[in-house]
Every structure is written in C-alpha cells, then in structure tokens.
Structure 1
Amino acid sequence: MTVIRHIVFDIGKVLIHYDPELPFNRLIPDAEERRYFFENVCTSEWNIAQDRGRSWEEAEGLLVAKFPQHQENIRNFRKHWHEMVPHAYDASVALMERVIDGGHDVTLLTNFAADTFSEARKLFPFLEKPRGVTVSGEISMIKPERGIYEHHVKSFSIEPKAALFIDDSQKNVDGAKACGWQAVLFTDAKTLEVDLERFGILP
C-alpha cells in the first residue's frame, strides 16, 4: 500500500451537518406540501447547479417563472440557508484536527456554492485549518466529475496514489478512485478513525 501523504476531506455531511429541509419544517409545516416542494420545485438537481457555479439570482428567477405560486419559498431556500447547516460533527472535526496536528497534509474538496461557502467559513472557523480548499462553485465543476479531482491535484501538488479522500457519497468516492486516489466512504467518526488508523495516518 502506498504511504498516504495527503488527506482530503469532503465537508457537507462529513464535517458539517447539512439538511435543506430543516427551515422548511417551519416554513411548510404540511409534510405532503413540503415533499412536493422538494421533489418538484427546489429539487436536488436545481440546488446542485448552484454548486456548479450558477448564481442564486438566476436559479431563483428560473423557478419563480415556472412556479410563481411558490415564489416566497423559492427565495426562502437561500434566505434561510444558514439554518440548513446547524452544527458541525465535532468528532469528525476533532479527527481532522488530530491529523493536521500530527503533521499531515490536509486539504478540503467540496461541492458547495461559492457564496454559501463564504458564509460557512464564518460559521465554522475550523474550515480555515487545512492547507486549502477546492470549492466546486468557484471552478464550475462538481464531484464526481474527473476534472474537479484533477484540478485539486494540480492546485495543491498532490500525488493521487498518495492521497486519501474521505466523502459521504459513494459516487464521489468512486470518482476519486477512478482518478487514482485512495478513498473511503464516510459513515461516522468512529469508522473514520479506524480507517485513518488502517492507513497509518493516526497511531
């Protein structure tokens, strides 16, 4: 096994809790109405386009034109974004900090809209501790596209086979492996700790 010299963390659902339904439990109390809203209006596919770099102004405009009756809640998605990230996963953050304190090279690779990531930096100061971060919304590429992994490698002078990627999405893990990285699926901090020990990153 190649010695790991670079550890690359995803952010959402690995270091930070993310759930877009949290503010809408209040804004759309009826469960069926809320389900319709997320399945047909502010869908995951619509939101991912902001992770790829589309502006919120354009994104909202497209949906308001199509669903004028939902205008308020379409705009509420961005307005109440901060409620979708209510807390960090403290145990995961502690592991990341242990890895950094142990002298290892740590970077971040995330699917995130550029402006909401700026907010996340203020909400979660530990995001400044790694050497750097690749934010999908800033480069118009998203995981699991090959280009974003290659961009990260080039930006941070990473040797792919000596990199360990940690992500909560199997398709993103597979994308990293397809680019020659080593990668593990994040499920919880305890399992990640075992993985980091297995790769010789933690004692």
Structure 2
Amino acid sequence: MSEIRHIVFDIGRVLIHYDPDLPFSRLIPDPEERRWFFANVCTSDWNIEQDRGRTWEEAESLLITEYPNHAENIRNFRRHWHEMVPHSYDDSVALMLELIEAGYDVTMLTNFASDTFLEARRRYPFLERPRGVTVSGDVRMIKPDREIYDHHAASFGLDPSATIFIDDSPRNVEGAREAGWHAVCFTDAITLETDLERYGIRP
C-alpha cells in the first residue's frame, strides 16, 4: 500500500450537517406534501446544478415557470438555506484539525454552490484551516465526474496514489478510486479514525 501523504475531505455530511427538511418541515408541515415537493419540484437533480455553477436566479426562474403555484417555496430553498446547515460534526472537525496539526497535507473537495460555500465558510471558520479547497460551483465541475478529481490533484500538487479521499457518498468515493485515489465512505468519526488507521494515518 502506498504511503498516504494527502488527505482530502468532503464537507457536507462529513464536517457539516446538511438537511433540507429542517426548514421545510416548518414551511410545508404535511409530510406527504413535503415529500412530493422534494421529489417533483426542488429535487436533488435541480439542486445539484447550482453545485455545478448555475445561479440561483436562473434555477428559481426555471422552476417557477413550471410550477408557478410553488413560487414562494421554490424561493424559500435558497432563502432558508442557512437553516439546512445548523451545526458541524465536532468529532469529525476535531479529527481533521488533529491531522493538520500532526503535519498531514489536508485539503477539501466539495460539491457546493459558490455563494452558499462562502456563507458556510463565514459561519464555520474551521473551513479555513486546510491548505485549500476545490468548490464545484467555482470550477463548474462536479463529483463524481473524473475531471474534478484530476483538477483538484493538479491544483494542489497531489499524487493520486498517495491521496485518500473521505466522502459520505458511495458514488463520489468510487469516482475518487477511478481517478487513482484511495477513498473511504464516511459514516461517523469513530469509523473514519479506524479507516485511516488501516492506511497508517494517526493524528
């Protein structure tokens, strides 16, 4: 096994909690109506295009044209985004900071809209601690497409065979492996610590 010199963290659901249901359980109290809204209007496929670089204005306009009766809640998705990221995972953050303090080269690679990432970074200062970050909305590439892993490696001078990636999405983990990286699927900080130890990584 190659010696790991570079550790790359995802952000959402690895370092920061993310759940669109949090504001919408108040905005659309009926569970069936809320499920329908997320399955048909503000879908994951719609939201991911903002992570790819589409503006919220364009995204909202497209949906409001198709679903004019839901205009207010379409706008509410961005308006109440801050409620979807209510806290960080303190144990994961602590582990990341310990790795940085121990001298490991730590960067971040995230699917995130450009403006919401700036908001998250103001709210969670620990996002400034790694050496750098690739934000999908800034580079207009997105996980699990191969090009974003290659872009991140080139931008930060990473040797893919000496890099390990941590992400909560199995598809994104597989994308990293296809790019020649090592990768583990995040479930919780205790499991992550065990996974990293298998690679000889200890804070």
Same fold (TM over 0.5): yes
Q: State the AA in 2 paired with 1:176.
A: A
Q: State the AA in 1 paired with 2:27.
A: L
Q: State the AA in 2 paired with 1:168.
A: D
- Please name the residue that 1:91 is paired with: 91
- Please name the residue that 1:173 is paired with: 173
Distance 2:71 2:197 in 1: 49
- Please name the residue that 2:11 is paired with: 11
- Please name the residue that 2:56 is paired with: 56
| Identity between Structure 1 and Structure 2 (%) | 70
RMSD: 0.6
**Residue 163 of structure 1: how far off its partner (Å):** 0.1
Question: Aligned ranges for residues 96-111 of structure 1 at < 5 Å?
Answer: 96-111=96-111
Q: State the AA in 1 paired with 2:200.
A: G
Question: Aligned ranges for residues 1-203 of structure 1 at < 5 Å?
Answer: 1-202=1-202
Which structure 2 residue ranges, 5 or more long, are not aligned?
Answer: none
Distance 2:2 2:148 in 1: 22
**Residue 145 of structure 1: how far off its partner (Å):** 0.2
Q: State the AA in 2 paired with 1:153.
A: A
Q: Deviations over 1:121-174 (max 9, x none)?
A: 011100000000000000111000000000000100000000000000111000
Number of aligned residue pairs:
203
Distance 2:35 2:170 in 1: 25
Q: State the AA in 2 paired with 1:36.
A: W
Distance 1:147 1:78 in 2: 27
Which structure 1 residue ranges, 5 or more long, are not aligned?
Answer: none
Q: TM-score, normalised by structure 2?
A: 0.99
Distance 2:147 2:10 in 1: 16
**Residue 196 of structure 1: how far off its partner (Å):** 1.6
Q: State the AA in 2 paired with 1:16.
A: I
- Residue 109 of structure 1: SS of its match in structure 2? strand
- Residue 22 of structure 1: SS of its match in structure 2? helix
- Residue 107 of structure 2: SS of its match in structure 1? strand
**Residue 4 of structure 1: how far off its partner (Å):** 0.3
- Residue 200 of structure 2: SS of its match in structure 1? coil
Q: State the AA in 2 paired with 1:129.
A: R
